[in-house]
Structure 1
Amino acid sequence: MTAITWVLAADDSRARIFETRGLKLDLRQIEELRNPAPRAPQSNERDRQFARTVAEMLERSRVNHRFDRLRLAVEPCFLGTLREYLSIEIQKLVHEDASEDSAGMSARRPF
């Protein structure tokens, strides 16, 4: 069976999920989440709610066996908040963590 890897490219306003199968380098976007809350100076609650939403989507997808491995390409200041909400099972599936501002990445040149 071919392993499915998801790449989460995210910051505090947008999260994009890309998928690749096996050892292929070609990524295709399969999900996009946007933070509906307006930006507010020093608003940690906004970031926390969005991190919770992203983590819940990943957990539902894990339970439904939609991916086998996860790569995180998340803006560093959002990554800490997101990690608070990732389940232990999701954390075990993280095979690489490239903390950077990658929410605007393209499927052709992801990193």
Structure 2
Amino acid sequence: MYSKWVVVADSSRARFFFYEGKKEPLRELEDLVHAEGKLKTQDVVSDQQGGRGNGAHSFEPVTDVKQQEAIRFAQQIGDKLEQGRVKNKYNDLVLIAAPAFLGTLRQTLNDQIMKLVGKSIDKNLVAQDESNIRSYL
């Protein structure tokens, strides 16, 4: 049986849809929110960074915290997609994501999921309504 999932995401939210056809509305399956993706870097970095110390190495550069959170969320999306793939919930996948997040998401998906990606769209549509998202399919 042919079934298509559409994932619309950015670094703080991912919406999973079931696509039944051009004339049918998308059916939303799940809406994941990653609140940490909306935080500003200074809200996430601890006060210990750059603190006083006795030596030349008292300050160590912080890896990009927002990027680490984006990777963590992309992995969470990948886990949901892997669960769906293993349970044969879909056999075609469309990824629609903010341009900066789409590459991160692709890097976290395994080869089996990537083989099912029929289309990728680099657009931030996560806040759009169902009919506007469907117009891109």
TM-score, structure 2 as length reference: 0.74
Partner of 2:85: 62
- Change in 2 beyond 3 A, CA 1:59/1:48: same
TM-score, structure 1 as length reference: 0.89
**Offset at residue 24 of structure 1 (A):** 4.4
Contact 1:69 1:95 in 2 (8 A): yes
1:55 partner letter: G
The 4+ residue runs of structure 1 with deviation greater than 4 A are 22-25
Instruction: Give the structure with the higher percent helix.
Output: 2
Write the deviation string for residues 47-88 of structure 1: whole angstroms up to 9, x where unpaired: 111111011110111101111100011111011111111010
Instruction: Give the structure with the higher percent strand.
Output: 1
Percent identity, please: 33
Contact 1:76 1:99 in 2 (8 A): yes
If you compute each CA radius of gyration, which structure gives the higher value, 1 or 2?
2
Q: How many residues align?
A: 110
For structure 1, the residue ranges without an aligned partner over 5 or more in a row are: none
| Paired residue secondary structure (2:126) | coil
2:77 partner letter: V
For structure 2, the residue ranges without an aligned partner over 5 or more in a row are: 42-63
2:33 partner letter: R
